[in-house]
């Protein structure tokens, strides 16, 4: 049995001091958005409560699907590096970047330098770069395959990309993990599902991504970006279906139209062709402002007619914000 925690869209705040020169780019729109909207919604106290709750559960591994920062300022990237260390190092955490982590040209290289050990495949030597994705790392009987959809985009755009070079490498990694009898978790920031988000925030390459999964298979796909708790299904080999799971933003404290701060906890058991996936959502209560179990589902990723059956939704082991 393997327990996997999934967090996304951390958006660590508050913003550090920003110079006029730093705002002479797409950052000006992000800065205005932070001051008008995100500043009042994203709360580090909520994030601290969520991560404290997560640590009490002691998952076997943590998957982070991007957007650790807001404007990809140097000071933000360093704060995120220190925050990552709280979880026990790169053996305990696998990370893929989000569009906010690659907010402006050059930011992607900086996060690779700062957070590279969390995005490095097993046995990989040398500096991490865009060409390092997707990576493969194995923990227990679980294969983590981390793709990147993150890149700098134009103002008022938050789109992502999954192109042929990544698709070719993912083909090989999925096949290798299958040969080894591993449960395959694919991580990407943008949802690889049509209609999951607005056109200006979409993933370019959804059909390409889904073709890879349809031909080579996976047991679970994790994403962030939407700030929503969702489960979609895409086609796998031989008429199977693969769950594609999104999660609410970890720092969401008000939830104007979005769920409050949550993380997903998966319990994975079984063996090849007979895997069992149980998913629990834990997060902030609107009424008590405590972290509790919101809902629990049994996901059967390899079934032709997969199940998503809610069970116990009673609060358990609350921790105060």
The pLDDT tens digits for 135-180 are 999 999 999 999 999 988 777 778 999 999 999 999 999 999 999 9
Residue 193 has a pLDDT of 96
* Position 3 pLDDT exceeds 50: yes
Backbone φ and ψ for 161, nearest 5 degrees, come out as -140, 135
Backbone φ and ψ for 121, nearest 5 degrees, come out as -70, 155
**Contact criterion met (CB below 8 Å) for 138 and 91:** no
* Position 303 pLDDT exceeds 60: no
Neighbours of 241 (CB within 10 A): 18
Q: Which residue has the tokens 């609410």?
A: 248
Condensed to tens digits (0 to 9), the pLDDT of residues 26-37 reads 555 654 454 445
- Residue 86 is part of which domain span? 2-320
Condensed to tens digits (0 to 9), the pLDDT of residues 241-270 reads 999 999 999 988 776 678 889 999 999 999
Q: Which candidate, 201, 257, 59, places its Cα nearest to that of 142? A: 59
Backbone φ and ψ for 126, nearest 5 degrees, come out as 90, 175
Residue 23 has a pLDDT of 57
Neighbours of 203 (CB within 10 A): 23
d(CA 232, CA 250): 20
Residue 63 has a pLDDT of 98
Residue 313 has a pLDDT of 32
Poorest-pLDDT segment among 5-14, 15-24, 46-55, 125-134: 15-24
DSSP 192: -
How many distinct structural domains can be found in the chain?
Answer: 1
Residue 235 has a pLDDT of 96
**Contact criterion met (CB below 8 Å) for 211 and 231:** no
d(CA 273, CA 301): 10
d(CA 128, CA 27): 25
d(CA 115, CA 68): 11
What are 232's strand-pairing partners? 244
DSSP 97-121: --TTTT-STTHHHHHHHHHGGGSPP
Tell me how far CA of residue 152 lies from CA of 66, 162, 287, in angstroms.
14, 14, 38
Does the bond joining 44 to the residue before it have cis omega, within 30 degrees of 0? no
**pLDDT band of 309, cuts 50, 70, 90:** very low
Whichever domain contains 151, its CATH number is 3.60.21.10
Residue 136 has a pLDDT of 98
Which own/partner contact pairs does 120-129 have at CB distance under 8 Å and 24+ positions apart?
Answer: 120/90
Q: Which candidate, 195, 200, 119, 191, places its Cα nearest to that of 155? A: 200
**Contact criterion met (CB below 8 Å) for 263 and 3:** no
**pLDDT band of 310, cuts 50, 70, 90:** very low
Residue 286 has a pLDDT of 78
């Amino acid at each position: 049995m393997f327990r996997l925690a999934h967090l996304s869209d951390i958006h660590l705040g508050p913003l550090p001091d920003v110079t006029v020169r730093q705002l002479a780019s797409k950052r000006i729109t992000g800065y205005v958005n932070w001051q008008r909207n995100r500043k009042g919604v994203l709360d580090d106290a909520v994030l601290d409560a969520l991560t404290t709750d997560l640590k009490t559960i002691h998952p076997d591994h943590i998957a982070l699907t991007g957007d650790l920062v807001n404007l990809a300022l140097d000071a933000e990237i360093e704060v995120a590096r220190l925050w990552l260390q709280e979880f026990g190092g790169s053996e305990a955490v696998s990370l893929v970047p989000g569009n906010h982590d690659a907010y402006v040209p050059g930011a992607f290289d900086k996060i690779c330098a700062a957070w590279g050990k969390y995005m490095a495949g097993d046995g990989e030597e040398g500096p991490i770069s865009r060409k390092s994705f997707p990576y493969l790392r194995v923990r227990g009987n679980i294969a983590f395959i981390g793709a990147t959809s993150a890149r700098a985009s134009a103002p008022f755009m938050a789109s992502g990309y999954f192109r042929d070079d990544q698709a070719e490498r993912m083909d090989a990694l999925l096949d290798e993990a299958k040969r080894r009898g591993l449960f395959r978790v694919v991580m990407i920031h943008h949802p690889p599902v049509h209609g999951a988000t607005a056109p200006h925030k979409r993933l370019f390459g959804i059909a390409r991504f889904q073709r890879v999964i349809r031909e080579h298979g996976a047991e679970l796909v994790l994403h962030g970006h939407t700030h929503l708790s969702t489960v979609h299904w895409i086609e796998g080999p031989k008429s199977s279906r693969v769950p594609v799971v999104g999660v609410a933003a970890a720092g969401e404290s008000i939830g104007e139209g979005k769920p409050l701060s949550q993380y997903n906890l998966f319990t994975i058991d079984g063996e090849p062709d007979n895997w069992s996936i149980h998913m629990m959502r834990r997060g902030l209560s609107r009424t008590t402002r405590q972290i509790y179990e919101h809902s629990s589902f049994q996901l059967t990723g390899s079934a032709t007619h997969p199940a998503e059956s809610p069970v116990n939704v009673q609060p358990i082991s609350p921790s105060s914000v």
